[in-house]
């Protein structure tokens, strides 16, 4: 009966495909030499869980605890805490040193691997706005460099307290917001930036992913488009507070995920822009890898990310900067960023004819 034989052999082939990742995992557990890679994968799973899945879980978990568990009484207490600490993300949050310096972030950085490249000193007697490019899908490079010590920021730039600004909505989700505050993340607002640059007055390194959610939609491998020409707010506040501007470009950030094709002007891109205009963010339809090396999933690809921190651009304090002064600083910053990219691109496999596209 050839049909039964073909069916049976097909089932065996499918079973082998499904079981092969499990077999690989069992072999990896039994081989101590592979443990570092497994720990790196676990570290990335931890990141993806809190940064992506926890956003979804937190929309229903408080209600489930309140209505269906004996711990219902914890939710009114948490609600009190939620409103009591609601403005903390605009006031430096509540960083937890143990979590920021935990070894999990070292394993995370080694997964890619991810490196922070220093080209100049940043003396702690000043404040700095570190301008991070490109946004990528999840700004993984700038997040790890500035919110954790996974790549040694505190050793490379002693005396500086680093943080990064992110969407205000990140701090609206119950439980998930606490993780962001433990790492010292702050919301992206003028109030938040001015608080950081005034308190304690020096030694701050505030990261801003300049391109924002719009640039995330351009995060395709091999893409070098930056949403920068219309972004001038960071220059205005740098002048108002005398904070030096520091360009940082993460070579490889756009290679960590694939996303659905969405060229500008396409119907899908127009739809994404409409969603962004309504909610201030539109999650890209991304594709990464899975825990078992399948070619789909939420984990980023194991591709190197090298974030080069450029020389600071000195900024004198101007209490009420004029549009001309803001434009002049913006032009100087764009020139410094392009020079940084051109100087270092050959080290990371980018051909000489490839340049940044500022729009």
Question: What mean pLDDT value characterizes the chain?
Answer: 90
Distance CA 247, CA 336 (A): 7
- Chain mean position to CA 66: 32
For 179-211, write each residue's pLDDT tens digit.
999 999 999 999 999 999 999 889 999 999 999
Give the pLDDT score at 14.
39
Kindly list the domain boundaries of the chain, sorted by start residue.
34-353
Q: How many residues does the chain have?
A: 359
Tokens for 299, please give them. Answer: 């984990």
Q: Are 127 and 243 in contact (CB under 8 A)?
A: yes
Distance CA 193, CA 262 (A): 32
For 98-152, write each residue's pLDDT tens digit.
999 999 999 999 999 999 999 999 999 999 999 999 999 999 999 999 999 999 9
Query: Percent of the chain at pLDDT above 90?
Result: 77
Give the pLDDT score at 264.
86
For 260-293, write each residue's pLDDT tens digit.
999 988 998 888 888 888 877 777 888 899 887 6
Give the pLDDT score at 26.
53
Q: Are 204 and 127 in contact (CB under 8 A)?
A: yes
Distance CA 164, CA 150 (A): 15
Name 259's Cβ contacts closer than 8 Å, sequence gap at least 6.
137, 219, 220, 284, 285, 286, 287
What's the pTM? 0.89
Direct distance between the N- and C-terminal alpha carbons of the chain, in angstroms, rounded to an integer: 66
Average pLDDT over residues 40-58: 93
């Amino acid at each position: 009966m050839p049909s039964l034989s073909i069916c049976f052999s097909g089932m065996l082939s499918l079973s082998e495909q499904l079981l092969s990742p499990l077999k690989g995992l069992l072999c990896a557990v039994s081989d101590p030499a592979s443990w570092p890679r497994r720990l790196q994968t676990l570290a990335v799973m931890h990141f993806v869980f809190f940064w992506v899945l926890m956003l979804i879980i937190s929309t229903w978990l408080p209600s489930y605890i309140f209505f269906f568990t004996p711990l219902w009484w914890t939710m009114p207490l948490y609600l009190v805490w939620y409103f009591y600490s609601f403005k903390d993300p605009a006031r430096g949050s509540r960083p937890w040193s143990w979590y920021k310096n935990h070894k999990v972030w070292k394993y995370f950085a080694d997964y890619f691997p991810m490196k922070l490249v220093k080209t100049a000193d940043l003396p702690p007697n000043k404040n700095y706005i570190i301008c991070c490019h490109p946004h990528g899908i999840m700004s993984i490079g700038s997040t790890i460099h500035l919110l954790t010590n996974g790549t040694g920021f505190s050793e490379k730039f002693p005396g500086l307290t680093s943080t990064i600004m992110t969407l205000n909505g990140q701090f609206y989700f119950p439980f998930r917001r606490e993780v962001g505050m433990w790492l010292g993340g702050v919301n992206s607002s003028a109030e938040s930036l001015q608080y950081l640059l005034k308190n304690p007055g020096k030694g701050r390194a505030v990261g801003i992913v300049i391109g924002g959610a719009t640039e995330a939609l351009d995060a395709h491998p091999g893409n070098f488009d930056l949403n920068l020409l219309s972004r001038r707010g960071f220059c205005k506040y740098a002048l108002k507070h005398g904070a030096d501007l520091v360009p940082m470009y993460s070579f490889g950030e756009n290679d960590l995920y694939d996303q659905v094709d969405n060229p500008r002007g396409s119907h899908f891109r127009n739809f994404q822009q409409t969603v962004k205009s309504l909610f201030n963010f539109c999650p890209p339809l991304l594709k990464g890898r899975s825990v078992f090396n399948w070619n789909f999933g939420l984990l980023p690809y194991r591709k190197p990310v090298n974030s080069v921190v450029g020389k600071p651009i000195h900024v004198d304090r101007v209490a009420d900067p004029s549009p001309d002064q803001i434009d002049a600083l913006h032009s100087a910053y764009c020139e410094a960023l392009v020079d940084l990219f051109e100087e270092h691109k050959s080290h990371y496999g980018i051909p000489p004819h490839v340049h940044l596209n500022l729009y």
